[in-house]
Amino acid sequence: QKEVEQNSGPLSVPEGAIASLNCTYSDRGSQSFFWYRQYSGKSPELIMSIYSNGDKEDGRFTAQLNKASQYVSLLIRDSQPSDSATYLCAVIAAGAGSYQLTFGKGTKLSVIP
């Protein structure tokens, strides 16, 4: 059973601070890692993808991957109230079935003005 675990939160940070969201996964063969943002009542929106160990930066977002520890994180710098949403970690395993995204249950982030 492939599992993706996230702290459900809510995670509250003040405006302008760094928000740190964490995710662990059980399948060591996982090859692709994604962060989605989901506003209440809306669909998941892809914000970051990462495929190799290390950091990947895109604007205020940084994804970090450590395959040895089976851990992926998302940092949001200079957090804004508009970043308040649920953040979903998703993972695709290698090999057969490599189209199947397994999602965590999400971390709810609240950015306080």
Partner 1 sequence: NAGVTQTPKFQVLKTGQSMTLQCAQDMNHNSMYWYRQDPGMGLRLIYYSASEGTTDKGEVPNGYNVSRLNKREFSLRLESAAPSQTSVYFCASSAPLGGAEQYFGPGTRLTVT
Q: Which residues bind partner 1 (CB under 8 A)?
A: 31-32, 34, 36, 42-46, 49, 51, 88, 90, 92, 94, 98-101, 103-106
Complex with partner 1: residue 17 or 49, whichever CB lies closer: 49
Task: Provide, rounded to whole angstroms, the least separation between the CB of residue 89 and partner 1.
Answer: 10
Map residue 15 onto helix, strand or coil. Answer: coil
Smallest distance, partner 1 to C-beta of residue 17, A: 27
CB of 45 to partner 1, least distance (A): 7
Among 29, 47, 25, 30, which residue's Cα sits nearest to residue 38? 47
- CA 36 – CA 49 distance, rounded (Å): 9
Length of the chain: 113
Whole-number Cα distances in Å, 91 to 13, 14, 82:
26, 29, 25
CB of 99 or CB of 113, closer to partner 1: 99
Taking the least distance from each CB to partner 1, the nearer of 18 and 46 is 46
